[in-house]
Amino acid sequence: MSNYSKTNATGTERIELHDILGLTGAEVSVNYMPAGAGVPFVHAHKQNEEIYVILEGRGSMVIDGEKVELNANDFLRVSPEAKRQLSAAADSPIRYLCIQVKAGSLDEYTANDALLG
| Per-residue pLDDT tens digits for 29-62 | 999 999 999 999 999 999 999 999 999 999 999 9
Q: Which of 36, 14, 46, 27 is nearest to 86 (CA)?
A: 36
Residue 72 — very low, low, confident or very high, per pLDDT cuts 50/70/90?
A: very high
pLDDT of residue 1: 55
Candidates 2.60.40.1930, 2.60.120.10, 3.40.50.2300, 3.40.640.10; correct CATH number of 25-103? 2.60.120.10
- Residue 86, classified by CB atoms within 10 Å of its CB into exposed (0-12), middle (13-18) or buried (19+), is buried
The verdict on pTM exceeding 0.85 is: yes
Mean pLDDT of the chain: 93
Locate the domains of the chain by residue range: 25-103
Residue 2 — very low, low, confident or very high, per pLDDT cuts 50/70/90?
A: confident
